[in-house]
Structure 1
Amino acid sequence: MTFEGFPVAALDFYDDLEVDNTKSFWDAHKATYDNDVKAPMVALTDALAQEFGDAKIFRPYRDVRFAKDKTPYKTHQGAFVGVAPATGYYVEVSAAGVRVGGGTYHAESKDLALIREGMAEEKAGKRLERILRDLERGGFEIGGEQLKTAPRGYDKEHPRIGLLRHKSLLGGKKYGFEPFIHTPELLDRVRHDWRKLRPLVGWMEDQLT
């Protein structure tokens, strides 16, 4: 299947699902999900696979076993290409449009320790700072969960304490409702931005593998 963009029906589907997140709605509109959400996402990630690797298309069902929110369905469709633990490239469609990202979204204790060692080390840490500056200049937002204080074992006066407080580190860009998300141009946009994110993803991969 050739990627032609996400139809307007995909965004409308999630708009309606946010209002009526029930099995009866899902069952009545599953064909819309299959044809206008999942199929284009598979086509998009298949087109990117040769360069970036095979993607995991996330299941649409929420794990509600331990959640207070018992709504059964996710209100977005994401896909992820992993290169290291919890590290790689991401693309998502939802009622808010399309967004892309890359980096490390979660780090177990041992992995976080390795990432912080790299951040603290002079050469690797400065390289990461340059990567993040370049991404910001390119229109990416830098985010991720952060501690409010210095992590254990690190001086609060460390020159890269802002980085060291991160528990996850991501670069992202929102395309929103730009007309190109409904066209084949979206493939080129995602490919371009994943390439721009490659230095960040690669830096994380170097620390973790």
Structure 2
Amino acid sequence: MSGAFNGWTEQAFEVLLRLEGDPPPEVRESLRKERELHVRQPMIALLNTVADAVPALDDFSVWGFHKESRWWRHQGAVIRIARQVEIGLRFDLDGLHLKAGWHYPDPVQVPRYRAAVAAESSGARLADLVGTLQTRGYEVTGDLMKRMPRGLPADHPRACLLRHRSLLAARPLAGDDVALTLATVDRVLEAAHELTPLLSWLGRHVAATARTPPPHVRR
């Protein structure tokens, strides 16, 4: 059981230090139980605590173990908002990082996104939302085309947004010192609140399809 979240512990960073570089499989396996206890279980506890505070954030998954060593050095998790619209979290030696928005799009979503960006009302709203997040320290990233999509003018006022095939807002959330404390919960909740307008825009204009949530990770 993951129990209540009270921050990661120093042991979490010690385990991750021992997983630095590309340790052989036998070394990784020898640290599996310690990593599960000190690294992965606190992430589950964190997201359970977040879901208790904001029930709309209760559809989450916390990644397990993979063959590639980089997955052992970084503990990932996602909170699903709508189809292909998520809040992603990553814990590693630098602390907790967040990247949220729309990525790995379904084929129908890209033209839907472009139509919403090109439309004056919805497009201007997205530009305002992105600008606000940038002033708050978020880096806006995503998969960008080198040229404008066919049929759209190169001098469109939202040309940069129209070149996106995914749209993400990212920033460090809690350094290694804060990650040791319960304050991490407040950081996640604050970021979720800041990102709600963008995620809602993406859910309405891009996802626009119902989905069946997969089982929650609550162990």
TM normalised by structure 2 equals 0.85
Do the aligned partners of residues 12 and 94 (structure 1) sit closer, same or farther apart at CA in structure 2, a change above 3 Å counting? same
Q: Report runs of 4+ in structure 1 exceeding 4 Å deviation.
A: none
Q: Over residues 132-189 of structure 1, what are the superposed CA-to-partner deviations in whole Å (9 max), with x where a residue is unaligned?
A: 1111111211111111111123221211110011111111111363421110000111
2:42 alignment partner, one of 9, 17, 40: 40
Contact 1:101-1:194 within 8 A present in 2 as well: no
How many Å separate the matches in 2 of 1:142 and 1:180?
Answer: 24
Q: Does 1:54 align with 2:56?
A: no
1:43-192 to 2 correspondences below 5 Å: 43-50=45-52, 51=54, 52-62=57-67, 71-72=68-69, 74=71, 75-175=73-173, 177-192=175-190
- Report the secondary structure of 1:38's partner residue: helix
Q: Over residues 2-59 of structure 1, what are the superposed CA-to-partner deviations in whole Å (9 max), with x where a residue is unaligned?
A: 1111223323333332323322112211122111111100000111124212211122
Q: CA RMSD in A?
A: 1.7
- Report the secondary structure of 2:16's partner residue: helix
How many Å separate the matches in 2 of 1:165 and 1:139?
Answer: 22
Partner of 2:26: 24
The alpha carbon displacement at 1:103 in A equals 0.5
- Report the secondary structure of 2:79's partner residue: strand
* Runs of 5+ unmatched residues, structure 2: 209-219
How many Å separate the matches in 1 of 2:161 and 2:13?
Answer: 35
How many Å separate the matches in 2 of 1:131 and 1:57?
Answer: 28
How many Å separate the matches in 1 of 2:12 and 2:103?
Answer: 25
The AA in structure 1 aligned to 2:156 is H
Do the aligned partners of residues 167 and 8 (structure 1) sit closer, same or farther apart at CA in structure 2, a change above 3 Å counting? farther
The alpha carbon displacement at 1:92 in A equals 1.1
* Runs of 5+ unmatched residues, structure 1: 63-70
The AA in structure 1 aligned to 2:109 is D
The AA in structure 2 aligned to 1:10 is A
The alpha carbon displacement at 1:108 in A equals 2.5
- Report the secondary structure of 1:19's partner residue: coil
The AA in structure 2 aligned to 1:110 is V
How many Å separate the matches in 2 of 1:38 and 1:178?
Answer: 16
Q: How many residues align?
A: 201
How many Å separate the matches in 2 of 1:45 and 1:152?
Answer: 41
How many Å separate the matches in 2 of 1:72 and 1:19?
Answer: 8
TM normalised by structure 1 equals 0.89
- Report the secondary structure of 2:31's partner residue: helix
Contact 1:112-1:167 within 8 A present in 2 as well: yes
